[in-house]
Amino acid sequence: MSSDGTYGEYEVVCGIEAHVQLKTKTKAFCPCPNEYGAAPNTLVCPVCLGHPGTLPVPNAEAVRLAALAGMAFDGSIRSVAHWDRKQYFYADLPKGYQITQFYEPIVEGGTLEVQMPEANGGSVKHVGIERAHLEEDAGKLTYDGDADALVDFNRAGVPLLEIVSKPDIRTPAEASQYAQELRRLVRALGVSDGNLNEGSMRCDVNVSLRKQSTEAFGTKVEVKNLNSFSSIARAVHHEAERQLALLEAGDGDAIQQETRLWDEANGVTRSARSKEGAADYRYFPEPDLPPTRIDIDAVRADLARRFEEDHTSSHDRRLPFVELPSETRRRIQSPPLNLTADTALTLCENPFGLLTFLDSTVAHLNGNEGVIRAACNYVLGDIMGHFNSSKTGESGLTVEIFAAILTLSESEELISGKTAKELLKAALAGGDVGNDEKELRQYVEDNNLAQVSDPDQITAWCREVVDANPNQLEQYRGGKTKLKGFFVGGVLKKGNANPKMIDSILVPMLDG
Amino acid sequence: MTSVARSALRLNAKDGKPARWGRTRSRTLVNALPSPTSALESASQVTAAKVTSVQLTQQALDAIAEHEDLGAFLHVNADVAINHARQIDERSESDDSAEDRPLLGVPIAVKDNLCTSDMPTTAGSKVLENYTPPYDATAVQNLRKAGAVIVGKTNLDEFGMGSTNEASAYHVVRNPWATDRVPGGSSGGSAAAVAANLVAAAIGTDTGGSIRQPASFCGIVGFKPTYGLVSRYGLISYASSLDTVGCLARSVDDAEAVLMAMAGGDASDATSSYHRDDANNTGGGDMESTRFALVGAALGEGVDSGVSAAVRAAAATLESLGATCDGDVDVPNFEDALPAYYAIACSEASSNLSRFDGARYGPRASVEKGASLQSMYDETRGSNLGEEVKRRILMGTYALSSGYYDACYKRAQQVRTLVRRGLDEALEGRTCLLLPAAPTVAYKLGEKTDDPLAMYAGDLMTVPASLAGLPAVVIPCGMADAGDGTMMPVGLQLIGKSFSERELARVAKALEKAIAFKGL
Ligand SMILES: [Zn+2]
């Protein structure tokens, strides 16, 4: 692959089909709980086991969540949801058919805004959404040592939203980033957990090559079994290399429309055992389900209630009640936060609730650019570090105390940066440094943590240190300016002096 | 548990023919039970404590045992039934009012494609042999709530696919009027049980005529409701968009009461309707405002003369009661209903029956260790599904296959729309349409087994109302010569507008009284 993502004289044409399990309380067509990790076959009922005589009842919540996702990528939402059956025999499919939306998907069209990391150019890419439709998940097959297959039907009937992108993806990195952005989106909306390792989000990629600046598509190959974002990128890359080798050897016909499985351990794709003949799923309208009417206004009202607690800024949004990750990035890359693209990518997922925390702190501070930059640095540094290494994922730091520390250190320079870090560390660990700014000031006073900002006192300390070290002074004046640190250290040994003031007083003194 | 299925007549597994047709037996049912009081009358006697439910239930169980050779039942659970009857007899005064429990203590038989948690439910198929569902069908639940005692499960053509009951995987059912004749199907067991006075009422299901045609063949009342009036939850699907649950009884009053006890919207069935109240509120019309027409296409060529004569006589009777007759009308697309019906019903059946794969319930064919999943499916389905069922699965699979979908399934749906429109047009300004329930009276066992197309043609009169989702009631309107001098009952079918069950019942009751058909 060249640095621009092309393969020889070819470019990658890639689309992604993502299956996202919807975060509903119950399954798509029966009242069983929709939960991960329960003992096998404990979340089942006659309906999701496909017992004779049972009938599906659509879960309105699943329809609402699908509509919400559709609104978020600006697709057009159908006012009536139609259901179809996709038929095939398999041990994990209780009814011998899957209820899906083949003829009329609930969502059509839309785009997903994908921010590429700086290492991949840092540009913003718009990937088109072809369609998104609701369907039910199948059970899960496991094989015991004796080659017997065991089926767990807990997953059977869990609502899925299959989101099909347009073939707009051109590089392995874009494929991975598209999937990550999709996950950010469904998580931000509360539509899905989006866990690849738990299978609540599963991505299949369609890969083909075509000569650069041509329109016609090559033969596409579907790659499944992608369990991480990095395997998505690796699989696209490997598949492109494989196809390129065939094309360059004049053996393009050997590229067949087929399903291949990603072998993570060996980093290759392998042809899945081909079924006899092309599969005919014999789709037809589900006769057990009349069309489900979708009242978009009611969906919006319901969602407004759902996101009531969300108080982030009233930035220009696609959905009034929730800020999409792309919107978050645009906002936090602008004043006052002015974060970089990579930082924005990290923070827009609101890891550990840190973006919410930062937003609240900024609102609380009403501070200047410097204070806000310090707040960002602390959040991305010490505070995120705390959460990354913390096992409990908890912290004792409140917005109020964080703002107070910033006020005392950055605005008032009452305490030094070093002290601020120590206070922060203590607060994160649950230590008592007071509950508000007033108590923090008391704590600083009680523990003698305030720095000295009296110019006369600092001048006196500087003078003492300079006078006591004539040799070093001579070397400094001879050009060894690195020795400044030596003198600063000396002053700090005298007392808790304001480092900025040391600088402004000490340097002219040293320079003579 | 006693199962009459075990000792009764069995099909020869090889060619699907009943093994003992040739046996000489009496041609009519001798010693038919004295007609037990009607379901409604029984209920009022139980409510008034003049008779116990245990007495009624025991009487039904005795009759069932005595007439085991009819083959009407697949499962009878005497212990469960008597226990239930006893609970009803021991109820406290405050438990219920007669109004809430219109069927208090009445023994009722249920077709074996409706799920019962206390009795096996096989749908007449080997693929569900010994299967007992983990739940009760909504219709069954509603019956129990109304006070009914379920005495047993009646025989049927496998999954409801058949018009003679010969396609039951267990044994045939005999027509109580002439035991060498078919009772009709697929609710043949229910029809025979009611006609032979084993029970006052039995539940049937009707997809393309499965209540109406056996009611006609057995000389009883059969009521197929508007699609959606009774929940399908727990009805083992044959064709989802056509399946209805209804009732067979010896009077329109009973049939109506049982039907309305089962009716009502159900959160478990998205296609069920909350129109029960509408269905209740109509029926206030009188004979002077009743207007009807005869379906011309159902009274011409291909219809036995005795059948059309009886139906025309019934029409004259209705007119003499004060109703206005518009004569024979042409119902547009009436005859196109039959092929459309088979395309749609088989398509849906091919899908609905996919779940019977031996994986989760029902018998599983034993295959060699290491054999493919596919071979287990092939063996299980191949050996446990009957010929007629396989034929319809194949037809449906074909109709839904890519390349044929538009020409078969989709076109059939378009025809269905036309059929519905045609019936709506013909019903415009009228209370009901009159036509036979079947072109012939009951024929002999084995007569049409080898000619599925001839058998399908017999559904011509019933499938239009099914495609249109309209209610239809069949009442016996006379007897006709079966061709060999045997006189067999003729059924008159009345098709009404959507949710006009009460109105249909009103007209049917007036006719029933005037005709005064003498049952067994
Ligand atoms: Zn369930």
- Quote the pLDDT of residue B374: 92
User: Strand B472-481 and strand B487-496: pairing?
Assistant: antiparallel
Side chain identity at B222, as an amino acid letter? G
Could you tell me the pLDDT band of residue B257, with boundaries at 50, 70 and 90?
very high
The tens digit of pLDDT for each residue in A101-115 reads 999 999 999 999 999
- Quote the pLDDT of residue B368: 87
Place of tokens 């009188």: B286
Could you tell me the pLDDT band of residue B11, with boundaries at 50, 70 and 90?
very low
B466 upstream amide cis, omega within 30 of 0: no
pLDDT above 70: residue B228: yes
pLDDT above 90: residue B68: yes
CB–CB contact A55 B239 (8 Å): no
The tens digit of pLDDT for each residue in B388-411 reads 999 999 999 999 998 999 999 999
Q: A91: which chain B residues are within 8 Å (Cβ-Cβ)? A: 359, 373
Q: B267: which chain A residues are within 8 Å (Cβ-Cβ)? A: 57
pLDDT above 60: residue B19: no
Taking CA atoms, what residue in A is nearest to B348?
A287
- Quote the pLDDT of residue A322: 83
| Phi/psi at A326 (5° precision) | -65, -35
Let me know: does B357 contact B385? Beta carbons within 8 Å. Answer: no
In 3D space, the residue among B337, B468, B409 whose CA is nearest the CA of residue A85 turns out to be B409
Please state the ipTM of this predicted complex.
0.92
| Mean pLDDT within A393-413 | 90
Helix, strand, or coil (residue B246): strand
Out of A46, A91, A97, whose CB is closest to B359?
A91
CA of A280 vs chain B CAs: smallest distance (Å)? 7
pLDDT above 50: residue B21: no
pLDDT above 90: residue B34: no
The tens digit of pLDDT for each residue in B432-447 reads 999 999 999 999 999 9
Mean residue pLDDT of chain A comes to: 91
| Mean pLDDT within A44-53 | 98
pLDDT above 70: residue B246: yes
Measured CA to CA, the distance from residue A405 to residue A417 in angstroms comes to 10
Ranges A313-322, A387-396, B272-281, B476-485, most confident: B476-485
Which has more pLDDT, A5 or A246? A246
Structure tokens at B189: 């067991």
Check if A149 contacts B (Cβ < 8 Å): yes
- Quote the pLDDT of residue A369: 86
Neighbours of A483 (CB within 10 A): 18
E-strand spans in A212-310? 221-226, 259-263, 268-271, 284-285, 292-293
- Quote the pLDDT of residue B28: 44
- Quote the pLDDT of residue B5: 34
In 3D space, the residue among B21, B382, B363, B5 whose CA is nearest the CA of residue B170 turns out to be B5
pLDDT above 90: residue B452: no
Q: Please list the residues that pair with B291 across neighbouring strands.
A: B324
Place of tokens 């074909």: B398
CA of A145 vs chain B CAs: smallest distance (Å)? 13
Out of B232, B241, B356, whose CB is closest to A55?
B232
User: How many contacts does A have with B, using Cβ atoms within 8 A?
Assistant: 102
Side chain identity at B266, as an amino acid letter? D
Rg of chain B in Å (alpha carbons): 21
Check if B104 contacts A (Cβ < 8 Å): no
- Quote the pLDDT of residue A22: 98
Residues 6 or more apart in contact with residue A288 via CB below 8 angstroms: A55, A56, B237, B240, B270, B271
| Domains of chain B listed by start with CATH number | 3-279 (3.90.1300.10), 281-330+436-515 (no CATH)
Measured CA to CA, the distance from residue B477 to residue B306 in angstroms comes to 11
pLDDT above 50: residue B4: no
Measured CA to CA, the distance from residue B181 to residue B191 in angstroms comes to 13
The interface residues of chain B toward chain A in range 112-171, judged by CB-CB distance below 8 A, are 113-115, 121, 123, 128, 131, 133-135, 137
Percent of chain A with pLDDT over 70: 96
Let me know: does A89 contact B357? Beta carbons within 8 Å. Answer: yes
Structure tokens at A341: 């693209």
Residues 6 or more apart in contact with residue B90 via CB below 8 angstroms: none
Check if A151 contacts B (Cβ < 8 Å): yes
Neighbours of A412 (CB within 10 A): 12
Choosing among A97, A288, A289, which should be mutated to test the B contact, i.e. which has the most B CBs within 10 A? A288
Ligand 1 centroid to Cα of residue B138, in Å, is 17
Helix, strand, or coil (residue B248): strand
Active site residues of B: 111, 186, 210
Place of tokens 């009081």: B37
| Phi/psi at A315 (5° precision) | -60, 160
The tens digit of pLDDT for each residue in A202-248 reads 999 999 999 998 888 899 999 998 999 999 999 999 999 999 999 99
CB–CB contact A46 B133 (8 Å): yes
- Quote the pLDDT of residue A301: 78
| Mean pLDDT within A125-154 | 91
Let me know: does A290 contact A301? Beta carbons within 8 Å. Answer: no
Could you tell me the pLDDT band of residue B27, with boundaries at 50, 70 and 90?
very low
The tens digit of pLDDT for each residue in A491-504 reads 988 888 888 889 89
Q: A95: which chain B residues are within 8 Å (Cβ-Cβ)? A: 354-355
Could you tell me the pLDDT band of residue B513, with boundaries at 50, 70 and 90?
very high
Contacts 24+ apart (CB under 8 A), A273-278: none
Out of B235, B350, B373, whose CB is closest to A53?
B235
Q: B236: which chain A residues are within 8 Å (Cβ-Cβ)? A: 52-53
Q: How far is CA B199 from the centre of its chain?
A: 15
Lowest mean pLDDT among A252-256, B177-181, B341-345: A252-256
- Quote the pLDDT of residue A318: 75
Let me know: does B128 contact B154? Beta carbons within 8 Å. Answer: no
| Mean pLDDT within A371-388 | 93
CB–CB contact A284 B360 (8 Å): no
Mean residue pLDDT of chain B comes to: 90
Helix (H) or strand (E) holding A98: strand A97-100
Could you tell me the pLDDT band of residue B96, with boundaries at 50, 70 and 90?
low
- Quote the pLDDT of residue B284: 67
The tens digit of pLDDT for each residue in B133-184 reads 999 999 999 999 999 999 999 999 999 999 999 999 999 999 999 999 999 9
pLDDT above 50: residue B23: no
Q: A282: which chain B residues are within 8 Å (Cβ-Cβ)? A: 350-351, 397, 400-402, 405
Neighbours of A116 (CB within 10 A): 17
The tens digit of pLDDT for each residue in A26-35 reads 999 999 999 9
Q: B354: which chain A residues are within 8 Å (Cβ-Cβ)? A: 87, 89, 95-97
Let me know: does B171 contact B10? Beta carbons within 8 Å. Answer: yes
- Quote the pLDDT of residue B6: 33
Check if A95 contacts B (Cβ < 8 Å): yes
The tens digit of pLDDT for each residue in A444-497 reads 999 989 998 899 999 999 999 999 999 999 999 999 989 999 999 999 888 888
pTM, to two decimals: 0.89
| Mean pLDDT within A133-144 | 93
- Quote the pLDDT of residue A295: 84
Percent of chain B with pLDDT over 70: 90
Let me know: does B161 contact B186? Beta carbons within 8 Å. Answer: yes
- Quote the pLDDT of residue A31: 97
